Structure 1
Amino acid sequence: MHTLLPFLLAMIAAIVLLNMWAAKLRIAYPILLVVGGLLVSFIPGLPVVRIDPDLIFFIFLPPLLFEASWAISFKEMKKWWRIIGSFAFLVVFFTALSVALVTNYFIPGFTIAIGFLLGGIVSPPDAVSTGAIMKFVKIPKSTSAILEGESLLNDASSLIIFRFALVAVGTGQFVWQEATLSFLWMVIGGAGIGLLIAWLFVQAHKRLPTDAPSDIALTLIEPYLMYWIAEQVHSSGVMAVVCGGLYMSLKRLVFLNSASRIQGYSVWQSFVFILNGIVFLIIGLELPEIVSGIRAEGIPLRTAIGYGILVTGILIVARMISSYTALISTIIFRPSVQPHASSRARRWLMPLLLGWTGMRGVVSLAAALAIPVTLDNDEAFPHRNLILFITFIVILLTLLVQGLTLPYLIRKTGFFDGAFAEESEKVTKLKMKQGLKTHVYEVLKDKYENKYQGNVIIEKTLKQWEERTKVNDENWMNRETKQIFIEILDSQREYLTELNKDQDINEEIIRQQLYQIDLEEERLKRI
C-alpha cells in the first residue's frame, strides 16, 4: 500500500500535467494520456497495475455513463432518435458481426464466438475521446447530437453483445430463443430498474432536508446503486444507469437547488476527469504485460500488430458503410429530418466524416480487461492476451490516426463552412435575453405592482435589467426584496424551460443561462 499510494498520486499528477499540455498543443487529452502511459510503462521498477476483471465495469462505467447522460441534450436525442438508434444498435451489431466473420477467417483459432466477443469490445466509439476532439472544431448541433447520443447508447448494446459472446465462449453453445428473451429483459428490465431507482432518489432529494454536500454525495451513490441492482437481477446495468441518468437530468431543476447544481457540476467534472485519465493511462501501462502474454502464446509481435490493424480497418469500413446506409434510409423514408448540409456534395460526404469519428477508448478497454483469466472449468480463457492486444492497437490507432487528423480534416476541407450560420447562436441568445427581460418586467408589473412603486432599487433594476448593475453597498437589500428577486429567478427558470421546448433553440444555450441564474441566486443568498 505504501508503494502503491505514491504511484496513484503520481498518476493523478501526470493526468493533470498531460491535460494542460494537451490544451496547449490543442489536441485531445486522451491521446497524450495513452502515449504517456505507454512511455511510463517502460520505466523500470514501477508497480504492475492490475484491476480485478469483476470490478472493472463497476468501478469506472457507472459514473462515466451517468455523467454523460446528464450532459447530453434529451431534446436533440428525441429529434434524431432514428439515426441515433440505428447507430447505437444496428450499427454496433453489424460491426461486431463484421469483426467476427473476418477474424474467424484470418486469425487461427478464432471461433465465431470469440470474434463476436472481440467485436462487442471494439464496436462502441468512445464519447470522451470524441467530445475532447470536437472541442477544437465547430460542428452543427445535429452532428454533435448524433455523436453524443450514439456514444451514450451504443455502450449498452455492445456490452450486451459482449456478455452473450462471453457465455457462448464459455459454454460452447448459443440458443437464439433464450438469447432473444434475455436481450429483451436486459434492455427493458434495465431501463425500468434505472427509472424506478432514479424516481426514488428524486423523491429522496425533494423530501429529505438535504444540503449541497449531501445532494452531491447522493448523486455519487446513485449510478453505482442503479448498476448493481440491475446486474443482480441479470439485467443491463448500463441501460439502468443511462435511463436513470437521463430521467434525473430532466428533473434536475425540481430536486436540486442552485447550490447543489453549481457545486455538483464542479465535483462531477473533476471526478469524471480523473476516472477517464486513470483509464487512459492504464491503456498505456498495460501494454508491456499484454505483449509478454502474446509472446508466451507463441504469436509474433508483428503478426499481432497486423491483426490489430486489420480489425481497425474493419471498424472504419463498417462504420462508413453504416453511415451511408443510414443517410440513404433517412433520405428515402424521412427526408424532412436528414442532417443539414450546405450542398448535395457535402451531404454525401457527411457519412465519411461520421465514419472517421469512431475513436475507441474507455469502454473498449474496460470490456477487454473484464474478460476472465480462466473459464469455469479452470482452463485458460482462449486468446485472452491476443484480444487485449488487438483492443489496445485499435484504441491506439483510432486515437492517434483518426483523433489527430479529424480536426485538421474538418478545418482544412471546410466541410461545415456554411452548414450552420455562426450568427444563429447570437440570434438565439439575443432572443432569449430579450424574452427574459420582457418576462421579468411583466412579472414585476403583474405580481409586485403595489410593492415596487416607490422602491428605488426595484425600479432601477427594472429599467436596467439587461445591464444587471451591481450595487456596492451590501446593506441595500432586505429580506423581502431578496425574496422577490429569488422568485423572479425561479420565474426565469420556468420561462427558459418552456422556451427549450422550441426545437430550433439550442439546449446548450439554455443550460448556460440556467447556470448563470443559479450563480445569481447564490450571489443573492450571500448578500
Structure 2
Amino acid sequence: MTTITVILLMLLAVVVSAMIVRASPLPLPLPLVQIALGAAIAMASSYRVELNPDVFFLLFLPPLLFLDGWRIPKDDLLRDKGTIIEMAFGLVICTVLGVGLLLNWLIPAMPLAVAFALAAVLSPTDPVAVAAVARRVPIPKRIMHILEGESLLNDASGLVCLRFAVAAAMTGVFSLPQAALTFVWLAVGGLGIGYVVTRTITLAKGRFAARYGEDGGSQILISLLIPFAAYLAAEHAHASGILAAVAAGITMSYAETTGSALATTRIRRNAVWDTVQLALNGIIFVLLGEQLPHIVDGAAEAVSESGHHSPWWLLVYVLVLNAALALMRFAWVWLSVRFTMFSRRSDGSAFRPGLRLIGAMSVAGARGSITLAGVLTLPVVMADGSDFPARDLAIFLAAGVIILSLVVANTLLPWLLRGLVLPPEPSAARHADEARVATARAAIRAIEARQHELSEGQADAALYAQAASRVMGLYRERIDGRDDGATSADEARRYEEAETALRLAGLAAERDELFRLLRRRKLEDEVARRLIREIDLQEARYRG
C-alpha cells in the first residue's frame, strides 16, 4: 500500500508541477520544479523507492524513444542528415572518450569504465526540456528539427555506449574487436527487429480492423504495447532494445500514412500518448528528486574516498563537468554547422552561420529525461555482490549536469534566439495550397460518384443533386481561390482564417448552450456527451 501511495503522490506532483509552471510569473523550467517536488516528497516521507534498474529501463525508455521516432518530422530529418549524424554519433563518441577520461582523472575513486558509463548517459540531449524552457522565445523550426533529430539518434548511440561501459565495469574486460562485432549486431539486429515487429503488428491489426471493424480503445492499447514488444524481442535476441524502440517508432510513422485508422482513434490516441509522455517524463524527474537526499549522502562519501573531505567538491565536479561538455559541444557544433548546415541559400549564395546561431544550438543541448533514466539504470551491485563503484556519485553528477544545463538554457537561450535571422525555408504555404487544391478536386470527384450512386433509382434524385452541389461548392471555392495567383491565394487564406474564427465562435456558443441545457436537466447525459464530442471533433479540425 505504501508503494501505491508514493506512486500516486508522484503522479500528483507531475500535475502540480505543470500547474505551478503555468501559473508562475517567472519562466520556471518544468523539470526543475518536478525535481523540487520529488525532494519535498522524500523529506515528508520516510519511505524510499527502491529502484530495479532493469525494470526502470523497461518501463520508461521504450515508450519515450518510440514516441520520439513516431513524431519526428522525417523530411526535416533527411534534409539536415549530415549535421544530425555528425552531432548524434561523432559528438557522442568524443563525449564518451573525452569526458570519461576527464572524470577518471578528476575523480580517482571513479573507475574508468564507470566514468565512460557516466559520459555515455550525459551525451544524449533533450529537445523537449529545451522547448519547455524556451517558451518565451520560440525556437526556429529548422533548429528545433535538428535538435530533435540529434536527440533521437544520440539517445540510441549514447545508451548503446552505456551498455558497453557497464559490461566492462561488471566484467573488467573490454575487447575492441569483440565490441565492434557486438555493436554491429546490436545496431542491425535492433533496427531490424523493431521494424519487423511493428510492421507485423500494424499489418495484422489493419487487416483485422478492415474485416471486423475498428475498436478505438484496442487500437490505442496496441500502440502502447508496440514499443515494449519491440524492446523485449530485441533484448531476447541480444540486440539493442533501445534501437528497436526507435525503429518501431519510425516504422509506426510510415505505417500511419495509410490513413486506415479512424479519425476518432487518431484524436484519442494522440491525447493518450501526450498524457503518457507527460507522465513518464515527469515521474522521472520527480523520482530523481525523491532519490536526491540519499544520492547526495552517497556522493559525499565517494568524494571523501577521493581524498576531498569537503562536500563542496561535489559542486566543483558539476561545474567542471558542465564546462567540459559545453566547450566540447560548442566546438563540435561550430564545425558541423559551418560545413554541413545552411551551406547554401536558396539563391545559391553562401551562408555563414554566426556565433549567435552556434551558441544557440550549443546552449540548446540541455540534458533531460533520457540522461536521467539512463544513469538511474546503473547496476546496484557487481557480479560478486559488492556495491557498484561510485554509483551515487555518478547519479548526482548527472543530476547536477541536468539542472545546470536547464538553468543555463533558461537564461541564455531566449537572449540568443531573439532576433536571430536564418535563411528562408522552402515555402510550406505553397505546398499546402497545392495539396488543398488536389484534395478538393479528389473530393469533388468522389462526391459526384457518390451522388449518382445514392440517387440512382430514387424518386427524390433532385435532393441528392442539391446536397452534392452545396458540398461541392465549398471545394470549388477552395480551388478558385488557389488558382487565381498569389494575390487570390492570399485573399483566400485570409477569408478562410476569418471563416475559421467565426466557425470556432459558433462552436463555442453551441457547446456552452449544451452545457447550460445539461445543467438545467433539459438534456439527457448520453445525448449531451455525443453532441459535445461532435463539436469537439469539429473544433479540433478547425484548430488544426
Which string of whole-angstrom CA distances, capped at 9 and with x for unpartnered residues, describes residues 62-109 of structure 1?
Answer: 111111112111121122111111111111111111211211222123
TM-score between both structures, scaled by the size of structure 2: 0.79
Which string of whole-angstrom CA distances, capped at 9 and with x for unpartnered residues, describes residues 431-467 of structure 1?
Answer: 5444443443355457757878842122111213456
CA distance in 2, matches of 1:431, 1:36: 49
- For residue 328 of structure 1, the aligned residue among 332, 335, 338 is 338
Are the counterparts in 1 of residues 122 and 371 from structure 2 also a CA contact under 8 Å?
yes
RMSD (Å), alpha carbons:
3.1
Are the counterparts in 1 of residues 448 and 468 from structure 2 also a CA contact under 8 Å?
no
Aligned to 1:495: none
Moved more, 176-185 or 124-133: 124-133
- For residue 226 of structure 1, the aligned residue among 227, 230, 236 is 230
- Structure 2: which 5+ runs fail to align? 456-460, 479-498, 507-533
Q: How does 1:124-139 map to 2 (within 5 A)?
A: 124-139=124-139
State the one-letter code of the partner of 2:474. Q
Moved more, 183-192 or 61-70: 61-70
CA distance in 2, matches of 1:147, 1:359: 10
**Whose Rg is larger?**
2
Pair 1:340–1:289, CA change in 2 (3 A): farther
Q: How does 1:88-487 map to 2 (within 5 A)?
A: 88-208=88-208, 209=212, 210-254=214-258, 255-297=260-302, 298=304, 300-330=310-340, 335-336=343-344, 346-411=353-418, 414-416=419-421, 419-420=423-424, 429-444=432-447, 454=462, 455-465=465-475
State the one-letter code of the partner of 1:257. L
CA distance in 2, matches of 1:349, 1:339: 21
| Offset of residue 429 of structure 1 | 4.8
Are the counterparts in 2 of residues 140 and 419 from structure 1 also a CA contact under 8 Å?
no
Aligned to 1:513: none
| Offset of residue 178 of structure 1 | 0.2
Are the counterparts in 2 of residues 372 and 381 from structure 1 also a CA contact under 8 Å?
yes
Are the counterparts in 2 of residues 125 and 359 from structure 1 also a CA contact under 8 Å?
yes
CA distance in 2, matches of 1:177, 1:433: 54
CA distance in 1, matches of 2:540, 2:76: 30
Aligned to 1:508: none
State the one-letter code of the partner of 1:116. F
CA distance in 2, matches of 1:395, 1:92: 17
Pair 1:432–1:203, CA change in 2 (3 A): closer
2:43 partner SS: coil
2:187 partner SS: helix
CA distance in 2, matches of 1:141, 1:442: 36
| Offset of residue 522 of structure 1 | 11
State the one-letter code of the partner of 1:251. A
1:286 partner SS: helix
TM-score between both structures, scaled by the size of structure 1: 0.81
| Offset of residue 204 of structure 1 | 1.5
State the one-letter code of the partner of 1:222. I
Q: Does 1:41 align with 2:42?
A: yes
Which string of whole-angstrom CA distances, capped at 9 and with x for unpartnered residues, describes residues 326-376 of structure 1?
Answer: 123327xx934x899999565443222111011112111122111112111
CA distance in 2, matches of 1:340, 1:317: 34
| Offset of residue 40 of structure 1 | 3.9
1:251 partner SS: helix
Aligned to 2:13: 14
Aligned to 1:493: none
Moved more, 240-249 or 344-353: 344-353
Pair 1:407–1:35, CA change in 2 (3 A): farther
Pair 1:39–1:450, CA change in 2 (3 A): closer
- Structure 1: which 5+ runs fail to align? 473-515
State the one-letter code of the partner of 2:466. V
Pair 1:105–1:403, CA change in 2 (3 A): same
Aligned to 1:59: 59
State the one-letter code of the partner of 1:227. Y
Are the counterparts in 2 of residues 31 and 403 from structure 1 also a CA contact under 8 Å?
no
CA distance in 1, matches of 2:335, 2:5: 51
CA distance in 2, matches of 1:136, 1:256: 36
Aligned to 2:525: none
Are the counterparts in 1 of residues 318 and 400 from structure 2 also a CA contact under 8 Å?
yes
| Offset of residue 402 of structure 1 | 1.8
Pair 1:131–1:139, CA change in 2 (3 A): closer
CA distance in 1, matches of 2:47, 2:356: 47
CA distance in 1, matches of 2:351, 2:83: 19
CA distance in 2, matches of 1:264, 1:253: 15
Pair 1:429–1:22, CA change in 2 (3 A): farther
Q: Does 1:5 align with 2:8?
A: no
Moved more, 27-36 or 50-59: 27-36
State the one-letter code of the partner of 2:6. F
Are the counterparts in 1 of residues 159 and 374 from structure 2 also a CA contact under 8 Å?
yes
State the one-letter code of the partner of 2:252. M
Identical counterparts, % of pairs: 30
Which string of whole-angstrom CA distances, capped at 9 and with x for unpartnered residues, describes residues 191-242 of structure 1?
Answer: 0000010111111211224411111111111101111111122211111011
CA distance in 1, matches of 2:399, 2:130: 17
Which string of whole-angstrom CA distances, capped at 9 and with x for unpartnered residues, describes residues 286-332 of structure 1?
Answer: 1100011123343532112211111111111111111011123327x
Aligned to 1:484: none
CA distance in 2, matches of 1:440, 1:347: 47
Moved more, 357-366 or 128-137: 128-137
Aligned to 2:518: none
1:78 partner SS: helix
Are the counterparts in 2 of residues 205 and 256 from structure 1 also a CA contact under 8 Å?
no
1:34 partner SS: helix
Are the counterparts in 2 of residues 258 and 521 from structure 1 also a CA contact under 8 Å?
no
State the one-letter code of the partner of 2:343. P
Aligned to 2:22: 23
CA distance in 2, matches of 1:48, 1:443: 62
CA distance in 2, matches of 1:400, 1:125: 15
Are the counterparts in 2 of residues 127 and 151 from structure 1 also a CA contact under 8 Å?
yes
Aligned to 1:504: none
Pair 1:110–1:269, CA change in 2 (3 A): same
Pair 1:218–1:159, CA change in 2 (3 A): same
Are the counterparts in 2 of residues 323 and 354 from structure 1 also a CA contact under 8 Å?
yes
State the one-letter code of the partner of 2:14. I
